[in-house]
Amino acid sequence: MPFTREYVQKVPENMLGVFQLSKSGEVIAYVGRADSDLRQSLMEMLDKGYQQFQWVQLPWIRETYEMQCRLFHHAGGRTKLDNVDHPYPPEGKLWSCRVSSQPPAMCEL
């Protein structure tokens, strides 16, 4: 859907989830997640050049991290995305990337 303030405001508040942003509507350019408020995380990305977005609600923080990892790798990782780094788990968690079985700092896929 169009990545505008109007559409982002339709996303429910205080919800966990992941999102993908696109500049062209055809290729994913950024993969993000929200461990507390998906709408707020999306609002922070407005006006950064993205034109389209999609999102999904998830029930647990661990699932948001794991889904972000899967989407990050599926979309091409650091070499193709605007993401500066591989997704990191929430503070205090030592979860590894399930796609590469590496800690996030070592994951180069």
Show pLDDT as tens, one digit a residue, over the chain (109 residues): 999 999 999 999 999 999 999 998 889 999 999 999 999 999 999 999 999 999 999 999 999 999 999 999 999 998 999 999 999 999 998 888 888 765 555 555 4
| pTM, two decimal places | 0.90
| pLDDT at 109 (0 to 100) | 45
Q: Quote the tokens at residue 97.
A: 């990337």
Q: What is the pLDDT of residue 98?
A: 83
* pLDDT for the residue 99: 85
Please say whether the beta carbons of 2 and 52 come within 8 A. yes
pLDDT confidence of residue 96: 84
Alpha carbon distance 34, 40 (integer Å): 8
What are the structure tokens assigned to 90, written together? 């929430």
Alpha-helical (H) ranges within 4-100 are 5-8, 38-43, 61-74
What residues does 20 pair with on adjacent strands?
A: 31, 54
Q: What is the pLDDT of residue 58?
A: 97
pLDDT reported for residue 41: 97
